[in-house]
């Protein structure tokens, strides 16, 4: 059991799992737009850059939660610090390599998510603050940047214009999905955010109402997925698959409390991105 726990900790807290989630979301967009998946330079860049950014986030963030190092997840992250630094270096080099393999049109649209992502993890603002240390905005930044990277950039690579109706619908759907699955993390981090004086949605309206917002977002995701699958792609099966994944995500979120083990959040809630891709991919295969 100890060996299994160490393996799970390594996968989750080395940020391999969240990087796999980002890659899964990008591949899902590729699949929905082209009925096929290809491990292109962009897909590799998304995986490496996510691994790099979240590794930097762990390294910088651990300095801001010294009062919580007795909590298991922070203790595990601190114990893996040397590993995380190594992964950050390797992933950074990989990101640089794949960045120069990208087409110029993708470079043009990388500026905004790059600024948000780097500002989110690096303390470049006054009083050593990051974008995530400002009240109210962090969850919106996460949702927009993830949708931008996993929808708009992939659409450009697939030779779609980002103003096409199906891309706009998919972008909004992805933004709402990421927003919904990020809300549980704000519930998890209530005590940490209170200590750092960062106001979040659960802090302002409570846990129950925060869950309601997540349910509404997921319902809207179902509506938008139906619009694309029935009216544009003429592929009802993908809409049905997405509906069931959104329903499963809503059920998972219903179990969210600020007392849950971090595996629930970092493993299961983040894992909904991988789960969604697997279900959609299975539908396209059969």
pLDDT in tens, 238-286: 999 999 999 999 999 999 988 898 899 999 999 999 999 999 999 998 7
The CATH number of whichever domain residue 230 belongs to comes to: 1.10.600
**pLDDT tens for residues 218-233?**
999 999 999 999 887 8
Q: Give the model confidence (pLDDT) of 128-169 as tens digits.
A: 677 677 767 888 889 999 999 999 999 999 999 999 999 999
Given a contact cutoff of 8 angstroms between Cβ atoms, the answer to whether 210 and 216 are in contact is no
In whole angstroms, how far apart are CA 263 and each of 59, 71, 210, 253, 268? 20, 13, 20, 14, 7
Are 95 and 49 in contact by the 8 Å Cβ rule? The answer is yes
The answer to whether 149 and 46 have CB atoms below 8 angstroms apart is: yes
Least confident range from 61-65, 95-99, 250-254: namely 61-65
Q: What angle do CA 152, 59, 132 make, to 5 degrees?
A: 50
Residues 6+ apart with CB under 8 A from 261: 72
Domain that holds residue 99: 2-285
Q: How many residues does the structure list for the chain?
A: 286
Alpha-carbon gap, residue 119 to 15, rounded angstroms: 19
Q: From 226, 238, 219, select the one nearest 279 (Cα to Cα).
A: 238
150, 19 contact by CB (below 8 A): no
Secondary element (H or E) of residue 187: helix 165-188
| DSSP code for 164 | S
Total domain count, the chain: 1
Averaged pLDDT of the chain = 89
**Tens of pLDDT, residues 174-206:** 999 999 999 999 999 888 777 777 788 999 999
Q: DSSP code of 35?
A: S
The dihedral of CA 50, 270, 17, 237: what is its sign? negative
């Amino acid at each position: 059991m100890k060996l299994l726990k160490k393996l799970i900790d390594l996968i989750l807290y080395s940020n391999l799992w969240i990087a796999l989630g980002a890659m899964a979301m990008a591949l899902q967009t590729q699949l929905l737009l082209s009925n096929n998946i290809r491990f292109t330079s962009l897909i590799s860049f998304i995986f490496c850059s996510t691994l790099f950014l979240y590794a930097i986030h762990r390294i910088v963030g651990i300095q801001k939660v010294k009062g919580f190092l007795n909590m298991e997840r922070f203790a595990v992250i601190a114990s893996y610090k040397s590993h995380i630094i190594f992964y950050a270096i390797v992933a950074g080099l990989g990101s640089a390599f794949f960045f120069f393999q990208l087409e110029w049109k993708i470079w043009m649209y990388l500026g905004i998510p790059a600024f948000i992502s780097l500002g989110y993890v690096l303390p470049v603002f006054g009083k050593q603050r990051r974008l995530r240390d400002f009240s109210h905005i962090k969850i919106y930044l996460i949702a927009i940047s993830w949708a931008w990277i996993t929808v708009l950039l992939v659409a450009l690579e697939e030779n779609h214009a980002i103003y096409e109706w199906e891309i706009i619908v998919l972008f909004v759907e992805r933004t709402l999905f990421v927003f919904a699955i990020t809300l549980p993390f704000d519930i998890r981090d209530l005590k940490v955010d209170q200590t750092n004086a960062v106001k979040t949605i659960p802090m302002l309206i409570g846990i129950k109402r925060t869950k309601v917002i997540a349910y509404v977002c997921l319902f809207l995701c179902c509506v938008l997925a139906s619009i694309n699958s029935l009216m544009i792609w003429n592929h009802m099966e993908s809409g049905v698959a997405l509906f069931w994944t959104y329903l499963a995500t809503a059920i998972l979120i219903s179990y969210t409390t600020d007392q849950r083990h971090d595996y629930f959040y970092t493993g299961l809630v983040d894992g909904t991105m991988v789960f969604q891709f697997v279900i959609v991919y299975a539908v396209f295969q059969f």
